[in-house]
Every structure is written in structure tokens, then in C-alpha cells.
Structure 1
């Protein structure tokens, strides 16, 4: 399992060198976008609207927009120094609480923790202490350049770091629109609903639940592949060689002629006939 972070978990004077590993993975089926006409993958380029050209990664800097089109530029060196200053700190457990005291809305992502060199004894000590007390540890840590609030808990005889949102990251529930203010329910309806819940109540078994859409999508892709309903992106046309330069120029000229609109002919002025001129003279 890939190690994504190394550091130290501490509580009191106990330090536990650990490695962190992603506990979950995204199983979404990734679909590419193709140009319908030639089945070529669509490119997404970074273009400066002022310079009207594609720009490279080394030309891009980070900034904070504090007002409309007003920015504070941030140097990469300053950001790296700030991140290193925070990342070098030990992950300190500051509180111990009960898991049921934290609403699931706060939970974000799970990471497995394994002991690093020389940390096995202290790792087992914390694991057993959490098991026996039924508590979890609340800590702060830096993950991917962001300070995270996290809880340290036990999952199947392994320590897990569970990142959780800060309170100001959870939107106010009072801002949810159209929530009924009246909460009273007719007793007969409530009793029937409770009976239905009782009928459907069981022990939670995660293996029971499948991503039906992902399975059906993969089956559809496999069926189309087996039936050879596939497409191959066309090669990008090679530029004209020097030997064919004259042909290319001639072809371009012909296309330009066809595309160019024909100029309007000026209207002809009417001239007097000889009879009209004689009549005018008399």
C-alpha cells in the first residue's frame, strides 16, 4: 500500500512514528470526451484571454482574489516555507472524545495509519488504550498543503486518521430552503412508518451494497467492446512537406477564391436614345 505521508502522532509525552495510507479509493468509471466528427480526445488548454495564447505551467503563479479582479500574488517559496513549517510539526492529539459525539456530517476522508520504524510498541499502546476507553483522539495535521482537523480511532485492529471539517466549513442548516416548520405527524401514520422501519431493520453489512450503476456501465462497455462497437482516434494530419509546398499554396489559393464573396457590379446608368436626344434638341 502506497505511503502518502510520514510523521509522528503524539499524546502527552508518547510519540508514535507512523506512515499514512489512503483507506478508500474512487471507483468511478472515467469517461473521455471525444470530438464526434473524428473521435479524437478533446484537449483542455490553459489560455490567457488577454495575451490570447496558450500558457505553460511555469508561467502560472498563485494569487488570492480579495475583490473583483483585485489579487494578492503569493510566491511559491513563501507557500512552501509555510507548508514545511506546519508539516514538520508532530500531529498532536489535543483531546479525547466519544465517537458518537461527532455528527457524521463532519467526517471527510479516512486514512490508515501503520507504525513506522521503532513505533510498533507505542502504536499498540495507543490502539489498546482507545479500545478499552471507547474514546477517539482529536488532532490537527497537514495533508496536501492544508491543515486538517482529524480524529484518531480504531478500525479492525488498525489506527485510522479520519479527517473532519472545521465547524465553519459546515453550512448552517438554517439556510436550507423549504424545510417544514411544522413537525407534528398523525399518530396512525407515524405508527405505520415505525412498523415499516422495524420490518427493514437489520445488521449493517457493507458487502451487501453494490454500485449498480457502475456495474451496469462496465457491462455495457464490455458488451460494446466484444461486439467491436469501438472507435479509434484519427491521426493528426501531417503538415505539408517542402516538396509539396507549391501544391499546398495552390490548394489554399483555390479555397480562398471559393470562400471569398464576389464583388457587387456597379449599377449601369441609363443613357438617352438617339430619338430622345433629337426630341430634346427640337
Structure 2
């Protein structure tokens, strides 16, 4: 597993040398833009629209646009001074809190933490303490010159660090357009919706969900590689929109009941077959 950061975690007087590893991976399929005529990959050049010429890296400076076409120029020395000041490799746990106190909207990326040389015992100590108290550590960390708020928690016998957004990075829900202020829902509709939720409630099994689009795209690419002729399926006719909310809920409820009955019948049939099997 690739190590992307090394440093120490500190809480109180305890210091734990650790390494950071990405806990997730992006499995999006990357497609290149090619020239239609010769299938050559296209290049993207940095061109100044005013001077009408290509610009090299040595001729590029950083600037912050504070209003349209007005920039504050930031020299490399300015950025380096801030970077060096914030480049501390210590993750200090500032507070311990409960995980449920943080709304999921704050979560960004997940990383596994592993102990470096000499840190195994302290790593195990923090892991067991977090596990037993059911608390998480709230800390700050700088990764690639960007400061992050982060939490450290127990997960599957490992310590996991998850970067979270600062409060001012989460947009105010009041800015969301067209959200109804008052609740105008009939009691029967609400009861039916709750019944539907109850029928569809199950335990979370992540392995039963998959990216259908990615699977279909990989299959298409494989078939193209093998020289198969690809035909495009016709789109199915669109169903009429169900305008009545109650009708939509009742149809969903009926469909769910039918599916559950079929599942029960299959289980019963299987049990009967098993009971009639003779043993030698």
C-alpha cells in the first residue's frame, strides 16, 4: 500500500510515528480525447490569449482574482514562507468527541494510518482507547500544503483518519432554492410513506451494490478490443409520469409486497425440497 505522508500523532504527551495510506480509490474509467482523423491523443497547451503565444512554466506566476480581471500577484517566496510555516508533520489531537456529533456532510476523504518504527505500542494504545470509549479524535493535518480538519477513529482493528471540511466550506442550506418552508403532507400519505420505508429497511451490505455503468463500459471496451461488432439497443418507451403522490406510494408498496412474497415462496419451496431429500 502506497505511503503518501509520514509524521506523528500526538495526544497529551503521547507521540505516535505513523504513515498515511489512502483508504479508497477512484475506479472511474479514464477516456482520452483523440483526433478523430488519426486517433492521436490531443495535447493541451498553455497559451496566452493576449500575446497569442505558448507560455512555459518559467513564465507563469500565481495570482488571486479578487474581482473580474483584477489580480493579486503572489510570488513563490510568499507561498514558500507560508508553506514552511504550516509544514509541521505533527497531527495534534485537539479534542475527543462522539462520531455521531458530526453530520456526514462534513466528511471528505478517508485514509488508513499505520505505525512506523517504534510506534506500535502507542498506536495500539490509542486504538484500544478509542474503541473502548467509543470516541474519535479531532485534529488538524497539513497534506500537500493544504491544512485540513480531520478525525481519527477506530475501524476494523485499524486507525482511520478522515479529513473533514471546515464549517465555512459547507454551504448554508438556506441558499438551496425552492425548498418548501411549511409541511403540507396528508396524514395518509405520510403513513403510507413510512410503511414503504419499513418494508424496504434492511441491513447495509456494501458488497451487493456495484457500479453498473462502469461494468457495462468495461464490457463494451473488451468487446471492442476483441473486434466484435457493437449494436446499440433501442431505448425503451418512457412510462407515463405518475402525477398523483398517493398513487405512486401505493404502487411502490404493492410492488414491494409482491417481491417479498416471491422471495418467501422460493424459501418455502427450497425448504420442502431439502426435507424430502433421503439420506443414505
| Range of TM-score over shorter length | 0.7 to 0.9
Is this contact kept in 2: 1:29–1:214, CA < 8 A? yes
Instruction: Return the TM-score normalized by structure 2.
Output: 0.79
- Structure 1: segments with no counterpart, 5+ residues: 231-282
In the other structure, the counterpart of 2:128 is 128
In the other structure, the counterpart of 2:30 is 30
Structure 1 consecutive aligned stretches of length 4 or more whose deviation exceeds 4 Å: none
In the other structure, the counterpart of 2:117 is 117
Shift in Å, 1:89: 4.7
In the aligned structure 1, how far is the partner of 2:57 from the partner of 2:155?
41
Q: Please tell me whether Structure 1 or Structure 2 has the larger radius of gyration of its CA atoms.
A: 1
In the aligned structure 1, how far is the partner of 2:85 from the partner of 2:17?
18
In the other structure, the counterpart of 2:86 is 86
In the other structure, the counterpart of 1:173 is 173
2:104 pairs with 1:104: yes
2:185 pairs with 1:185: yes
Higher relative CO (Cα under 8 Å, sequence separation at least 6) belongs to: 1
Deviates more, 1:177-186 or 1:136-145: 177-186
In the other structure, the counterpart of 1:255 is none
Q: Deviations over 1:62-109 (max 9, x none)?
A: 121223222222222332332232122511110111000100000000
In the aligned structure 1, how far is the partner of 2:104 from the partner of 2:92?
22
**Partner-residue secondary structure (3-state), 1:87:** coil
Q: Deviations over 1:145-183 (max 9, x none)?
A: 110000011111111110000111010101100111222
**Partner-residue secondary structure (3-state), 2:38:** coil
Deviates more, 1:82-91 or 1:166-175: 82-91
Shift in Å, 1:228: 6.1
In the other structure, the counterpart of 1:150 is 150
Is this contact kept in 1: 2:108–2:162, CA < 8 A? yes
Aligned length: 230
In the aligned structure 1, how far is the partner of 2:183 from the partner of 2:157?
42
2:37 pairs with 1:64: no
In the other structure, the counterpart of 2:47 is 47
Is this contact kept in 2: 1:152–1:161, CA < 8 A? yes
Shift in Å, 1:229: 6.8
2:15 pairs with 1:15: yes
Is this contact kept in 1: 2:88–2:142, CA < 8 A? no
- Structure 2: segments with no counterpart, 5+ residues: 231-280
Is this contact kept in 2: 1:87–1:141, CA < 8 A? no
Q: Deviations over 1:19-43 (max 9, x none)?
A: 0011111100111112222222221
**Partner-residue secondary structure (3-state), 2:86:** helix
Is this contact kept in 1: 2:96–2:136, CA < 8 A? yes
Deviates more, 1:150-159 or 1:186-195: 186-195
In the other structure, the counterpart of 1:207 is 207
In the aligned structure 2, how far is the partner of 1:167 from the partner of 1:145?
19
